[in-house]
């Protein structure tokens, strides 16, 4: 995440809103990478008993309303890169090309004392 503060990349936080805000702390520090856009991975799904992936149209609206558009370079993260990989998969299915997953995710970022955070 060397480029987290670059205007050329969108940082996608696929954790819950409580994790993003720092209410639910799952590392030494709580919060999020500065400038990260929070879209909980659970918003990709609908249906209570047997969840299924939302339609491509619904997912595209979800991301575009958050300011993430096709053509954007996007780096996703979560706690341990599992939910971030789900975000990667959804964007890939929508035709986004410039994607990556920060595999260190919050477990790395939040446990370092030299990384900036926002709450």
Catalytic positions, written as ranges:
78
Q: Which helix (H) or strand (E) holds 89?
A: helix 82-93
Distance CA 36, CA 55 (A): 24
Structure tokens at 59: 């997912």
Distance CA 60, CA 19 (A): 24
Cα distances (angstroms) measured from residue 27 to each of 11, 55, 81: 19, 34, 14
Distance CA 81, CA 86 (A): 9
């Amino acid at each position: 995440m060397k480029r987290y503060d670059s205007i050329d990349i969108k940082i996608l936080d696929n954790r819950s809103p409580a994790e993003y805000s720092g209410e639910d702390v799952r590392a030494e520090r709580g919060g999020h990478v500065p400038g990260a856009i929070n879209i909980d991975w659970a918003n990709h799904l609908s249906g209570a008993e047997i969840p299924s992936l939302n339609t491509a149209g619904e997912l595209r609206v979800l991301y575009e309303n958050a300011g993430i558009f096709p053509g954007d370079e996007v780096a996703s993260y979560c706690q341990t890169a599992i939910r971030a990989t789900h975000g990667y998969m959804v964007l890939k299915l929508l035709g986004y090309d410039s994607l990556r997953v920060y595999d260190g995710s919050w477990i790395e970022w939040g446990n370092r004392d030299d990384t900036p955070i926002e709450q």
